[in-house]
Amino acid sequence: MEIIIERGCGLDVHKGTVVACIMGAGIKKEIRTYTTMTNDLLRLKEWLQEAGITHVAMESTGGLLEARL
């Protein structure tokens, strides 16, 4: 199978939390949970940038969430 995205993140968005899983070339699969408060979302952004994540897929089963990381 051809690798299209080398480093990615999947987000599972809930009302009060965001569960993030990163994996890809040169990084160990890791799962972290953050709250939906601004400070925690900024910490999530920093983690993704530090890991060199280039693509994010988001899944949410509740109301609409617009986050600009």
What would the DSSP string read from start to end of the chain? -----SEEEEEEE-SSEEEEEEEETTEEEEEEEEESSHHHHHHHHHHHHHTT--EEEEEESSS------
Taking only the tens of pLDDT, the chain with its 69 residues reads 788 899 999 999 998 999 999 999 999 999 999 999 999 999 999 999 999 999 999 987 765 556 665
- Residue 27: give the domain boundaries: 7-60
What CATH number does residue 26 fall under? 3.30.420.40
| The model's pTM | 0.82
Asked whether residue 68 is assigned to any structural domain, the reply reads no
Asked whether residue 20 is assigned to any structural domain, the reply reads yes
User: CB–CB of 19/58 below 8 Å?
Assistant: no
pLDDT at 22: 97
Overall number of domains in the chain: 1
pLDDT at 68: 61
pLDDT at 44: 98
Asked whether residue 28 is assigned to any structural domain, the reply reads yes
Copy the structure tokens of residue 68. 């600009």
Asked whether residue 49 is assigned to any structural domain, the reply reads yes
Residue keyed to tokens 């990084």: 27
Asked whether residue 40 is assigned to any structural domain, the reply reads yes
Asked whether residue 48 is assigned to any structural domain, the reply reads yes
